[in-house]
Chains A and B, each alone.
Chain A
Amino acid sequence: MLTFLSDHLDAFASGAVITLQYTALSCLFGAVLALPIALMRLSPKAAVFWPATIYVLFFRGTPLLAQIFLIYYGSGQFRPTLEAVGLWQFFREPWFCAVLTLSLNTAAYSSEIFRGALQAVPRGEVEAAMALGMSALQRLRFILFPRALAAAWPAYTNEVVYQLQATSLVSIITVMDITGVARVIASRNFAFYEAFVTAAAFYLAIVYLVILLARRVERRLHAHLAAADANGSRKIRA
């Protein structure tokens, strides 16, 4: 096992970099996309509500594996069309198809987390903001978003962890992430056990780091509560 590790650590490390990149990029794009989708899902207007709802239904209702195949091999069938609009140079790259699918997928899940969190903000606080004469945008900016973010954070951390593990599927479209590296090394050396135990250890370490980071952020988001618990009276006076 030790010689196995020293022989292949470089390969696994380069796989880990890819896994981290794909997770970070897709979570970033996914979150940016999720916010408008969540707001659309809260809209009373059918023309706004339904497109977002169908989007979420599709990406939550079909397996990610199928989505990756669909976007990667499906786009290959439409090469002339994609070339005509100048998009083929992106779709021909496995990394682009992988990040695109992962982003669209996590956007659907994240938007549901955000929607739930926005709905969980107490009516009274929104009404108080209205009574103070805040505009709709001000209410979003100062009341709804900060409150929803704090409420959504633990669930969103979970989504990031799931997303990190979901990136292991991109090895089916030739991406050499941690799982892709493990598969190649396993079959080359017939070291299936060693390769996948190593891969699991890498995922575990990264997930643990993500959770540690998320905890720190969570503590900051809930700073007002933590401080009140510790020495409430002084905090209130301040």
Chain B
Amino acid sequence: MPEGQFANKQPITNEEALKHLLSDKGGKQYYAEMAELDVDTEKLWASIRKTCKSRTMTWLEICAHCGMCADSCFLYRCNDRDPEQVPAFKIQSTLGEMVRRKGQVDNAFMRRAMDYAWSRCTCCNRCGQFCPHGIDMGVMFSYLRGLLYAQGFVPWELKIGAGMHRVYRAQMDVTTEDWVDTCEWMAEENSEEWPGLEIPVDLEDADIMYTLNAREPKHYPEDVAEAAILFHLAGEKWTVPSKGWEQTSLSLFAGDWEACRMNVEEVYGAIERLRPKRVIGTECGHAHRATVIEGPYWAGRPDGKPPVEYIHYVEWVAEALRTGKIKIDPAKKIREKVTLQDSCNYVRNHGLGKFTREIISYIVEDGYFVEMGPNREYNYCCGGGGGFNGVGMYRPQRNVALKTKRDQILATGAKLVIAPCHNCWDAIRDLEEEYEIGIRWSFLKPLLISMAIVPEHLKPQEEDE
């Protein structure tokens, strides 16, 4: 079958198609159609020739097959050191083979490549740190995902996710109206406890524009309120855009580069419209990757930088604590063993580990913070990165993948895990559900609110009765 009604080479571009694909529960028919989907080998080879240049070709060619990458990969380690989980094997037997065969591959090859690209690599980039030749297989798997996506070989949820970005410019069906309503609702809901609390929408020339993850307004609106409370506490002049507020990119996980561009241009459009001094993104790893690290390139910006300074939430929190904009009540500091999850996307891939540790120094009493081993740039993926958390078909593999983080956390002896990243937060929640090791996990925002000293003028006034 050349093209199915669900599994095909066309991206989702309108609401109707999106709802239609969503109606195929769990992608049952989608995957059945995919088993018959033709590979457009000419288009595949043309695409490889156009995009697989010097760096990737050299990586594929000079790999010494030394196996030093094996131990670097958490999926290799937690799958009983299965040789088929060695990063070099995974990429050589998929992308490498595809290039060697000049794109002449069949449906079975593509489906196997899809399994490898989305269930055997989270694009955490750790293997690149262990390869003597500097071969970053995470980067290559991300590239492979793009080739597979263009041919229709992508997990159902991620085709939907990329479609969401194309239709709503958000990873979930949150419209501008929904979003603005949520802001108003949250400001009102918390106004009694926090008099004067506002969530200013489309304020021009603010000091800060805040961007976030669609699941915050969709499923965790209190997260939006918490961000507002902390900006309020810190006395910041801030705003959120009515359009261009969604910072994440499931299209990055899907390999839909066009959707990636569309989404990031929406965010940069908001920056140009509202002219904030700087932008702060929420506690999310891949959102930061998508908008601050990779985004400028998708938008074709030659300097590789966003239009204005664009920082991660942890950078702002560290600054707010350092400058005293937010003060922590010493009596409320954490006094139990606590550990910290380093998100691959902004620690390994953007060097922000020092900021999270600076935050720890303010909110955790000396002697209670326990590092995971290894940590910072060398930390392991939470087990659910790169879209792994969201793909139903790969849930069993994902659950195995959580073992690495489980064991790392158990070794610290901590019962509280600070996870300033949505994906990591989910993975740690799921590992507790799956393995019941008796831990709690948290973003920074609720911890900070519970510990911050509230200045008198921001406290609710006593009723004059």
Is A bound to B? Answer: no
Chain B residues engaging chain A, CB cutoff 8 angstroms? none
